[in-house]
Structure 1
Amino acid sequence: MAESWLVRDATVEDAAACARIYEPYVRDTVVSFELEPPTAAEVAGRIAAALARHAWVVLEDDGRVVGYAYGSTFNARAAYDWSTSVSVYTETGRRRTGAGRALYTALFDRLAARGFRTALAGVVLPNDASVGLHAAMGFEPVGTFRRVGWKLGHWHDVAWSQRPLGTGPGEDDDPPAPPGATVDTAASAGDTRTSN
């Protein structure tokens, strides 16, 4: 592994690398509830959509994309506009290396700069590594949906957790402009370097 990693905003040119990282999660595990791995073209569309309103970041190690994280719509109803669903994926063998933490840190900064105030994450159980990462990143459990997904011959539970972004919403605070309406390019541009 290199001395340092580079976390940067994704581009659609990263789609093939992200699809490669994601494929084994879809094909061989219940971490993702997708049943067929998306093509690079499909991932390119997802990256473009995330960058338009939320954020998508990638982690490079010696110039090669080895992980990614993104925000997406939590719920399409307008009152949820300040909440975002988040996910992080790293290539096989990168668990407990700090890669997920580095990706989430950069992602949360970008999402907060765009006006999002709450991040939500669903984790298919059991998955101690993911539960541990989310707890370490400040997520608090909010509930478990029992037997909501069928994959690889079994029903699976999904535990949901959430954490504030930026200052987070106050009890009676008026919300800012809807996220994605304007982008703070100073906060969302550039690279984030982190040591292993």
Structure 2
Amino acid sequence: MRPESVEVQVRPGTTDDLGALTDLYNHYVRETPVTFDTEPFTPEERRPWLLSHPEDGPYRLRVATDADSQEILGYATSSPYRAKPAYGTSVETTVYVAPGAGGRGVGSLLYTALFDALAEEDLHRAYAAVAQPNEASARLHARFGFRHVGTYREVGRKFGRYWDVAWYEKPL
């Protein structure tokens, strides 16, 4: 078990992170309803996703690592909210924390770095979709000024059941 006092560094994601980020995401694909993807990805299948989050601009990727081992502890992204041009000043944000790294503030460090990076961008709102139930994610989003704006009932089917998704928004 990793000690609680591990120093965490947050930085932009790079192509060198692709394998570890894919493994982390695939954990959530295989084991949880947090994402509605149902089949694991290969790193090559995830490459376009990673490349769509450059170091600057409104669509960012921030990665948290253990300062000593450089093990990836989680990541946060801002991505297009919707494809139509009028949505251009809105982003959808998300955070994934590695199994075993939860409850140590990694998600908060990632969101702090992400929103700091987005502060000078021409953005108006951030949105987050949270499969229910997920109290930890609800607390994280509330801590960062998101407010619940509605819930889609039984909008996704995974593991043989339907899941609700709560939507949160935050002014930027």
TM-score (norm 1): 0.80
Alignment of 1:23-42 (within 5 A): 23-42=26-45
The percent of aligned pairs where both chains have the same amino acid is: 41
The alignment status of 1:123 with 2:126, answered yes or no, reads no
Provide the aligned length of Structure 1 versus Structure 2: 165
Return the offset for 1:112: 2.6
Return the offset for 1:117: 2.2
Q: Partner residue of 2:75?
A: 68
Distance in 2 of aligned mates of 1:112 and 1:78: 21
Q: Partner residue of 1:43?
A: 46
Which amino acid is 1:114 matched to?
A: E
The alignment status of 1:134 with 2:141, answered yes or no, reads yes
The alignment status of 1:80 with 2:83, answered yes or no, reads no
Which amino acid is 2:146 matched to?
A: F
Return the offset for 1:3: 4.4
Which amino acid is 1:145 matched to?
A: Y
Distance in 1 of aligned mates of 2:112 and 2:101: 16
The alignment status of 1:14 with 2:17, answered yes or no, reads yes
Note the aligned Cα RMSD (angstroms): 1.4
Distance in 1 of aligned mates of 2:147 and 2:118: 18
Unaligned runs of 5+ in 2: none
> 1:97-152 deviations in whole A, cap 9, x for unaligned?
10000001111122232322211000000111111111111110010001110100
Q: Partner residue of 1:185?
A: none
TM-score (norm 2): 0.90
Which amino acid is 1:25 matched to?
A: Y
Larger-Rg structure:
1
Return the offset for 1:40: 1.2
Moved segments of 4+, more than 4 Å: none
The alignment status of 1:56 with 2:61, answered yes or no, reads yes
Distance in 2 of aligned mates of 1:3 and 1:17: 19
